[in-house]
Amino acid sequence: VSFAYDVIASDFDFHRALPSRVPEAIRTAILASINTLSPRLLDLGAGTGRIGRSFVTADDDYVGVDLSLGMLQEFKRTHGQLNSSPRLVQTDGEHLPFCNATFDAVMLVQIFGGLRGWRRVVAEARRVLRPAGALIVGHTVHPADGVDAQMKQRLASLLGQMGIRPERLNARDDALRLLESEAHTNACSVAAMWNAERTARGFIDRHWTGAGFSVLPEPVKEEARHKLGAWAAATFGSLDAVFLEQYRFEVQVFKFQ
Ligand SMILES: C[S@@+](CC[C@H](N)C(=O)[O-])C[C@H]1O[C@@H](n2cnc3c(N)ncnc32)[C@H](O)[C@@H]1O
């Protein structure tokens, strides 16, 4: 079965790379939130290992799972030069092949965009989590008025005018609400902050390779690219005008005991 992430796997890191110190800062924040020495960690939706790689490099007790074989192959390929090989399993997060209470922490990093069966994935994450374990939701926070946010909003309205009604693609808010209602404790922290250069062209190049967008028909993507490009050139002066913006990575830790 073809899966949108298989198609974009080789492009994923190129467009969405984090500054080199950020994955290690995220690892440090995650380990600090777990009260166990040498915790067993599950990274559900590990993808290309953008974040998981830092755990593998440090020889942590880490298992990464993902529905997309292409993303996991990319994880393995980019990690190939190092000694320890990542423990990766291709599986659907809705049906994890692990016993109850196996892990001290389950990480759900940047996986809710486009995730249809999010309730089942969250339930599975909780099932394989030990009673005293931590369920960790992580994501990058973009500036609300930044280039990407403005471009995304404009693109949504252009697609609306073209009769394309995008599905509601991000279940993160719903998942967070559910977890907040079920958790005994819940703490949010900023694992890393960094400045990133943003351009309208960068948004277009990245978005056009995104898992959700890349599956739209070519003529729709072409017309949208043309209209969005024209709007961006008028709004920002040029598609290549550079804006320095502040990004941060937030980690929300849920415990149930
Ligand atoms: C945006 S990527 C994030 C990858 C990684 N966590 C990161 O932050 O770099 C989302 C990942 O979730 C995976 N995914 C989506 N639905 C899934 C499911 N039902 N079970 C397991 N993985 C899934 C995709 O294949 C993709 O690799």
Distance (Å, whole) CA 154 – CA 248: 23
Please report, as a single letter, which amino acid is at residue 130: R
Between 248 and 163, residue with greater pLDDT = 248
pLDDT at 72 (0 to 100): 95
- Report yes or no: 140 and 249 within 8 Å, Cβ to Cβ: yes
Q: Which of 116, 114, 113, 168 is nearest to 138 (CA)?
A: 113
For residue 250, report the distance from its CA to the centre of ligand 1, in Å.
17
110 lines ligand 1 (CB under 6 A): yes
User: What percent of the chain clears pLDDT 90, i.e. is strictly above it?
Assistant: 79
Of the pLDDT bands very low, low, confident and very high (cuts 50, 70, 90), residue 4 is: confident
Q: Where are the beta strands (DSSP E) in 114-163?
A: 129-141
DSSP 39-83: -EEEEET-TT-TTHHHHHHTT-EEEEEES-HHHHHHHHHHHTTSS
Q: Is 115 in the pocket of ligand 1 (CB under 6 A)?
A: yes
pLDDT band at 2 (very low <50, low <70, confident <90, very high): very low
Backbone φ and ψ of 204, nearest 5° = -60, -50
The residue ranking higher by pLDDT, 79 or 227, is: 227
Residue 54, ligand 1, Cβ within 6 A? no
- Please determine, for residue 168, whether its predicted confidence score (pLDDT) is greater than 60: no
Q: Are strands 129-141 and 61-66 parallel, antiparallel or unpaired?
A: unpaired
Residue whose pair of structure tokens reads 């404790």 in the numeric block: 185
Average pLDDT of the residues of the chain: 92
Mean pLDDT of 204-217: 84
Atom nearest to 109 CA in ligand 1: 6
Mean of the pLDDT values across residues 139-155? Answer: 95
pLDDT of residue 1: 43
pLDDT tens digit sequence for 37-92: 999 999 999 999 999 999 999 999 999 999 999 999 999 998 876 567 899 999 99
Residue carrying structure tokens 């492009």? 11
Q: Is the CB of 50 under 6 A from ligand 1?
A: yes
Determine the residue of 111, 115, 120, 170 to mutate for testing ligand 1's pocket, defined as the one with the most ligand atoms within 8 A of the Cβ atom: 111
> Residues 6 or more apart from 117 whose CB is under 8 A from it?
93, 94
